[in-house]
Structure 1
Amino acid sequence: MQPAEKLSITIPADMARIIRDKVSAGRYSSNSEVIREALRGWIERERSLAAMDAAIARGVSDSESGRVQEIGDVREEMRKYFKP
């Protein structure tokens, strides 16, 4: 585990209330635990967005380079695998 670093943050009252409510309900043991969980979710979302951005960039590059398939060809290929 990485060493911890203490930070002081300011958040809106409604967010602070949500954090306190989660701790009071016993879902988390501390305010810090709530924030860490939220940050883990945010980090995962950022990674997913970066992966999507990279996939879009590859698609644009493929399209600009002429590495594309006609939609009709794709449909026919899909029908081979997914018969109604």
Structure 2
Amino acid sequence: MKTEPMRTLTISLTPQQAARLQSAVEGGGYASNSEIVRDALRLWEQREELRALELEHLKRAYADGMASGKPVEVEPAEFIRGLKAERRARG
């Protein structure tokens, strides 16, 4: 598998962010600032993928709800009592 060459970018950080990067490198948690940024980007990518999956799940749930038929009026307190009764019945 051929690896693409790394690309150098210039980024701006607050003094606090720069200090935290430096501290992480000096503390041995990371080998370099670039390693920290790559790790942060991997975490961001994972979060974005999770958001996309959650959004797709919500869209499916919405579509299922819309396709389930005519809405029925529900009294919240009565609904909760019914759920509690079902739970007690199951033990």
Count residues with an aligned counterpart.
Answer: 74
**1:11 Cα deviation after fit:** 1.2
Structure 2 Cα separation of the partners of residues 66 and 3 of structure 1: 52
SS of residue paired to 1:18: helix
The residue type equivalent to 2:22 in the other structure is: R
Find the partner of 1:39 among 13, 38, 41: 41
Which protein, 1 or 2, shows the higher relative CO under an 8 Å CA cutoff with sep ≥ 6? 1
* TM-score, with structure 2 as normaliser: 0.71
Structure 2, unmatched stretches of 5+, are 70-78
Partner Cα distance (1:3, 1:43) in 2: 20
Give runs of ≥4 in structure 1 deviating > 6 Å: none
Root-mean-square deviation (Å)? 2.3
Task: Report the residue type matching 2:10 in the other structure.
Answer: S
CA offsets 1:18-67 (integer angstroms, 9 cap, x no match): 11000000111110001001110111011011100000000001111117
Identify which of 53, 59, 71 aligns with 1:51.
53
Using structure 1 for the length normalisation, give the TM-score.
Answer: 0.76
Q: Give the corresponding residue for 2:75.
A: none
Give secondary structure in 2 for the equivalent of 1:64.
helix
Unaligned runs of 5+ in 1: none
Aligned mates of 1:46, 1:2 — CA distance in 2: 23
**Which of 2, 5, 24 is the aligned partner of 1:22?**
24
After TM superposition, the structure 1 = structure 2 runs for residues 55-74 of structure 1, keeping only pairs within 5 Å, are: 55-66=57-68
**Percent identical:** 31
